[in-house]
Amino acid sequence: MKNSVTVKIGRAGETVIQPNLFAHNLEHTRSCMYHGLSAQMIRNRKFAGKPACRTGVADQWYRIGRKEVYMTLDRMDSYVRHVNDSGVRRNECNSLIIQNPFEGMEAGIGQDGIYLEKGKYYKVSAVIKCRGENRFPCRIRIISGSRETVYAYHEVLPEQGRWEKTGFCFKAEESDANARLELVFSSKGEVKAGVVSMLPEDNFHGMRRDVVELLKEMGVTVLRWPGGNFAGEYRWKDGLLDVDERGALLSYRSVETHPHTGGFDFHEMGVDDFIALCREIGAQPYITINLAWDSPKESGEFVEYCNGSEETVWGQKRCERGNREPYNVKFWSLGNEFGLGHMEGPNTPKEYSEKALLCAEKMKEADDTIILFASGAYSPEHDSGLWVKESLPRLAPVIDYISYHYYLPRLFESGMDFITESGLRECWKAVLQAPQHCAGDLKHLREKMDSGTEEMKKVKIAFDEWNLYFTWYHDPCVLEGLYTALMLEMFCRKQDAYKMMMAMYFQPVNEGAVNVYPGHAELTANGQVFKLMKAHRGNRLLVSETTDSSLHCLVSENEDKTVITLINTDYDSDMEVKFEGIAVSGAEKREVLRGTEILHGYKFIEETIAGDSETLAVPKRSIVQIEMGNGSEE
C-alpha cells in the first residue's frame, strides 16, 4: 500500500540549527572503553580487586605451575598508584606476587581469549620486579589457544628488587580468536607483576583506530567526558601519570557502571588523550568535574591545566608534557546528576548549590570565559520544581546551562514484545511517540525556568543525556534508529522555543551508535542516522509541514545547498511524496536508509535513489534525504 503525501516548504526564519545538538557522551560505563574505544587487549591488566579463591590469582588470569606455587595480590607494593590516595576505595592498586619454590619448574600467569589478526603488528609490555638468590630470566610469550604454536617470545634478565619495564613488538602471522599471553619463569624465586599491556601498534593514544574513524563519520560536534556517573570516581590528576602507572578506579555503583570489569575502570584515558581524540574527530571537549571528591581548588587547577598559559602553574605542567598551546576547553559541568540519590556528594539543592558556587568561583578565576553547566534533578522523573526553585536562583548568575537528563520510555526494561505482531506494533507506537512526550516535558521545564528571575530566564537547557532506557544492553534496531531521527528532528525544531542549544546522545560506543567487535567496528541503525542527519548542522531551518502525521520532515539550507530529510514512521505503508514551495527534480544526492527487518541487530539498508522526478518514494519505516544546490528553489 502506498499513501500520497504533500510536503509544504516555506522560507527560512531566524533559527540556525545548532551543531551542538549533534553531540555525544563518552562515559566510562559497561563496555564503552573496555573492549570498546580502548585498544587495550589485556583484561584486568593492573590486577585490581581481590585474589581468586584457593589459587590467589587475579580475576581474568589463570595460574601456571604446581599447587605449591604461591600467588596473591599485594596492595602494599604496587606499581600503579594514585596521585592523592584518599583511601575511599580499596583494591584499586595491587601487584600480583608469584613465588616459585622449585628450580627448573615453570610458574607464572596467563590470559586467554586474545584476538590476533593476521598481518597486524602488536606491542606487548610488562612491568615486573624480581627477588631471588641470583638473577634469573623471565619470559613473555604469545601462543595459540591449544598451546601448540608459539607466535612470539621475549626473554628478559631483570635487575633484582626494582620495577623494570620490558616489552617487544611482533607481527601476527595468522589470525587466532583465542590466543594466549603468558608471563613465566623457571627459577626458584619471586616475581611481582605490576602491569601487563598488549595493544595493536596502530592505536591512537591507546584507542582503536576503527572506532575513532566511525566517530568522525557520525559527525560528533561535542564530546562529554568522563561522565556521567563515572565523573564521581574519576581523578583527573591521575591521568597525568603514565598510562601504565595509573591505578584502577572502583566505581561507586560498580554493578551499574562497570559490571563487565569487576566494578573497575583501568584508567586508559587521561585528559591529554581525551583532548587528542576531540581534535582528531573535530569535536569540542566538554568536561565534567568530580564535584564530590575534588575541592574547589582542584577544580580550578583542572581548568588551569587545560586552558592556562605557560606562565601559570598548571599551564606550565601541560607545556612540560608536550602540549604548549592551551586546550581552550569551554564547556564544564559542575558534577553530574546530583539530587538523584545515586551520586556521592551534596544531594540537596542547597548543599549542591553551595559546593557548586565555590567550584565555579575557582574555575572562573582560572578562565573567566568558560561556559558552566549545573547538575541537578531537573528531569520529570524527579521533583524538578524543587531544584528550579531552590538551586537555580543561586546558580543562575554564574552558570550558562542546566543539565537535563531523560531516558524514555521504560519499555526496554521489561515491556518490549518482539514475539507477537500486536506486541511489536504497541512497542513501535510507544517508542515513536516518545519524542513528542519529551518535547512536552522540555516545554514544562522551560516554563518553570521562565517564571523565575531575569537571570533564570537567560539560563539555557543542555539535554546532555538522552536515549531510550536500557538500550545499552542490546544490539539496536531500526525502531531505535527512527526514534533517534525523530529526537534530532524535534531538537532542531524546538531549540529556540526551549532555549535548548545542546543535546548529547548517551552514548555512542557499544551502547547505541557503534558496535565494537574484536576484529572490526560498525555503525548501528542509530549511528547510520547520525551520519545521515549531520548534513543539517549549522544550516538555517526552513518551515515545513506534511499532510500525513506519520511523515516527519526536516528542511534546512546553507549558502551552498538545501537539505530535506523525510522520516516515514508508518509501520505498513510506503509514501509517494510531492512538494510545494521547492523543486526537487535537480537533487544532487538522494539517499535512503531503508528499514526492512525491524528485530534487534538489524540495521538500515543504505541505498541511493536514481532519477530526477518531482515526487519522491519514501518506503515504510525508512528515512530519505535529498540535497539540492541553491538554484533549485521555485
Joined grid coordinates for residue 310: 605557560
User: Looking at residue 402, which CATH number applies to its domain?
Assistant: 3.20.20.80
DSSP state string for 424-461: HHHHHHHHHHHHHHHHHHHHHHHHHHHTS-HHHHH-EE
Side-chain half-sphere CA neighbours of 91 within 13 A:
14
Type of residue at 143: I
Q: Are residues 392 and 520 in the same domain?
A: yes
Instruction: Among 536, 568, 593, identify where a domain stops.
Output: 536
Say whether both 124 and 256 belong to one domain.
no
Domain end, chosen from 536, 555, 573, is at 536
On whether the CB atoms of residues 590 and 17 are closer than 8 A, the answer is no
191 located within any domain: yes
Examine the domain organization and report whether 221 and 362 are in the same domain: yes
- The set of cell numbers assigned to 235 is 581523578
Distance in angstroms (rounded) separating the CA atoms of residues 270 and 284: 16
- Whether 436 has a pLDDT exceeding 70, the answer reads yes
In terms of domains, do 6 and 32 share one?
Answer: no
| CATH code at position 119 | 2.60.120.260
Containing domain of residue 602, as a range? Answer: 2-15+540-632
Q: Is residue 56 in some structural domain?
A: no
How many residues belong to the chain?
Answer: 634
pLDDT at 343 over 50: yes
Q: At 613, is the pLDDT very low, low, confident or very high (cuts 50, 70, 90)?
A: confident
Same domain? 348 vs 244 = yes
**Helices 525-533 and 478-498: crossing angle, nearest 10°?**
40
Considering the chain, what percentage of its residues have pLDDT values greater than 70? 98
Q: Which amino acid is at 378?
A: Y
Nearest to 218 by CA among 476, 24, 28: 24
Specify the 3-state DSSP secondary structure of 364: helix
Instruction: For residue 253, tell me if it sits in a domain.
Output: yes
pLDDT surpassing 60 at residue 337: yes
Would you give the DSSP letter of residue 348?
A: S
- β-strand partners of 96: 73, 193
Residue 517 DSSP symbol: -
* pLDDT confidence tier of residue 86, bands split at 50, 70 and 90: low
Which triple of cell numbers denotes residue 592?
535512503
**β-sheet bridge partners, residue 99:** 70, 190
Residues 11 and 90 in one domain: no
* Residue 4: C-alpha distances to residues 383, 577, 585, 616, 620 (Å): 45, 6, 18, 10, 13
Higher per-residue pLDDT: 333 or 587? 333
Which amino acid is it at 461?
A: I
Same domain, 34 and 179: no
Kindly state whether residue 574 falls inside one of the protein's structural domains.
yes
Q: Domain for residue 281, yes or no? A: yes
Contact 562, 612 (CB under 8 A): no
Average pLDDT over residues 131-138: 94
Q: Is the dihedral of CA 360, 361, 366, 368 positive or negative?
A: positive
Number of H helices, E strands in the chain: 13, 31
Any idea which of 25-39, 179-193, 310-324, 405-419 has the lowest mean pLDDT? 405-419
Instruction: Decide if pLDDT at 444 tops 50.
Output: yes
634 has pLDDT over 50: no
Give, in degrees to the nearest 5, the angle at Cα 135 between 132 and 138: 95
| Residue 208 within a domain | yes
DSSP assigned state of 536:
G
Strand 2-16 with 574-580, pairing = parallel
Q: What is the pLDDT of residue 9?
A: 95
d(CA 218, CA 529): 8
Quote the pLDDT of residue 453.
95
Closest by alpha carbon to 168, among 124, 119, 117?
124
Q: Is residue 87 part of a domain?
A: yes
Does 602 reside within a domain?
Answer: yes
Residues 386 and 260 in one domain: yes
Mean pLDDT of the chain: 94
Residue where one domain finishes, among candidates 155, 176, 200: 200
pLDDT of residue 88: 63
Q: b vs e for 83-94, b when ≥16 Cβ sit within 10 Å of the residue's Cβ?
A: eeeeeebebbbb
In the chain, what is the straight-line distance between the N-terminal and C-terminal CA atoms, in Å?
31
Confidence of residue 413 (pLDDT cuts 50, 70, 90): low
> Do 195 and 207 lie in a common domain?
no
Are 447 and 332 within one domain? yes
Q: CA of 529: how far to CAs of 96, 411, 540, 604, in Å?
A: 46, 22, 20, 9
- Are residues 208 and 232 part of one domain? yes
How far apart CA 491 and CA 436 sit, in angstroms, is 11
Whether 425 and 485 have beta carbons less than 8 Å apart is answered as no
Residue 412: what pLDDT?
A: 67
Q: Do the Cβ atoms of 41 and 267 come closer than 8 Å? A: no
Residue 303 near residue 367 (C-beta atoms within 8 A): yes
- pLDDT tens profile 207-246: 999 999 999 999 999 999 998 999 999 999 999 999 999 9
Query: How many structural domains comprise the chain?
Result: 3
442 and 545 belong to one structural domain: no
Q: What is the pLDDT of residues 237-287, one digit of tens each?
A: 999 999 999 999 998 877 788 999 999 999 999 999 999 999 999 999 999
Q: How far is Cα 9 from Cα 410, in angstroms, rounded to an integer? A: 35
Q: What is the CA radius of gyration of the chain?
A: 27
pLDDT in tens, 144-163: 999 999 999 999 999 999 99
Cβ–Cβ under 8 Å, residues 569 and 552: yes
What string of H, E and C letters represents the secondary structure of 254-312?
A: HHHHCHHHCCEECCCCCHHHHHHHHHHHCCEEEEECCCCCCCHHHHHHHHHHHHCCCCC
